[in-house]
Amino acid sequence: MNRVEVLERIEPILGTQVRNIEHNSKTRITVTPDMVTLRPGGGQRYLEMSNEGVKSMAGFVGLPWNLAARLRPETFGTVATELLGRKHRYSLMLKDGAVTAVAKPTELHSLNPTRVLTAIERGIKGVEYHRALILENFVVSLEIVGERREPVVSGDLIQAGARIAFSPLGTIDPIVQGYALRCICTNGMTNNTILREFQYGGGGGGEGDDVWHWFRKSSRAAYNSLTIMVARYREMRQEGIPADQRATMLEAMLKEAKISGDDAVAIRAMALENPPQTSYDLMNLISHASSHLLEEPKQVRIAQDAVAEYTGASEHARVCPVCHTTQK
């Protein structure tokens, strides 16, 4: 994928915008038989409010919905206007010109996706967008690789990259993780060796950093973590799985990754054909599912996170997939 294709993929959520409002004493909530509208300030423009937007506003101003729904229209408008005025500042989420949510100004942050991609491209040499997923809550998950490659063993090349999650509306704090693409089978694997989170209003990646600098710096750090990731994969190739424990460990990993139904059947079939003799083999079975079998974005992320947890940072400092206790 290129950046144009990425922006096309996430276009469904780009139609939603955030507007920060300084409350004006002339702001009014008006209720008619057909709709609820918000007039910011003393202007002539009225913003229609969707049903979700009205419920969101009621929750924001502290008006229980079970009470609000019983109020007469004119009473609801008066009460909502009065309570909204006590907030002074707030953010409106708008889609197709209608208000779909009202929130604290610190809860939503408009983040330009084009600038995010530009910052990433400045941090990773030869960027290739491997996959773009749209998750709930207006979140975008990008799997990115660059030019750098290293072998785990001869013939098993790993391509360096990063997994980046952010929201154009700022509904989550941006997160960057190490990511690697196994060239022999195009399995994508996440890793927590590099795991950074930008905190809005909290200084980001360091003193004086803005979000764009943070994206560039964190993407580069994730990309440059390939040597550490490959070293860990080499260790995992030495971690043998006793034959009598392979089925148990596979089932534990399938459960951890929440892989079931036909997808789990397919992975079990692969394990029967080529039994996982090492931790590296087992990891690649699950990463195969997240890369080639699972389609629902949330399921993909859960499986990827299970792989990241399983690989861990060192041989005996991760969560055991069988007993879920930290090995000593």
- What confidence score (pLDDT) does residue 201 get? 59
Q: Is the pLDDT of residue 85 over 80?
A: yes
Stretch 39-49: mean pLDDT, rounded? 83
Q: Is the pLDDT of residue 208 over 80?
A: no
Stretch 118-134: mean pLDDT, rounded? 94
Residue 244: phi and psi, rounded to 5, are -80, -5
Q: What is the chain's mean pLDDT, rounded? A: 88
Q: Is the pLDDT of residue 324 over 60?
A: no
Percentage of the residues of the chain whose pLDDT score is greater than 70: 91
Does this model's pTM top 0.85? My answer is: no
CA distance linking residue 183 with residue 159, whole number of Å? 7
Contact 237, 266 (CB under 8 A): no
- What confidence score (pLDDT) does residue 312 get? 73
Interval 262-271: pLDDT, tens: 999 999 999 9
- What confidence score (pLDDT) does residue 60 get? 94
Stretch 89-102: mean pLDDT, rounded? 91
Alpha helices per DSSP H over the chain: 3-9, 11-14, 51-61, 65-68, 73-85, 113-123, 211-223, 226-237, 246-256, 261-273, 279-288, 297-311
Question: Of the candidates 70, 93, 95, 74, which has an alpha carbon nearest to the alpha carbon of residue 29?
Answer: 74
Stretch 99-116: mean pLDDT, rounded? 89
- What confidence score (pLDDT) does residue 315 get? 37
Contact 179, 143 (CB under 8 A): yes
CA distance linking residue 303 with residue 273, whole number of Å? 22
More confident call, 43 vs 273: 273
For residue 84, give the DSSP letter: H
- Residues linked to residue 195 through DSSP beta bridges, in sequence order: 177
Does residue 38 sit in helix, strand or coil? strand
- What confidence score (pLDDT) does residue 322 get? 46
Q: Is the pLDDT of residue 49 over 70?
A: yes
Q: Is the pLDDT of residue 272 over 50?
A: yes
Percentage of the residues of the chain whose pLDDT score is greater than 90: 66
From the number of C-beta atoms within 10 Å of its C-beta (0-12, 13-18, 19+), residue 155 rates as exposed
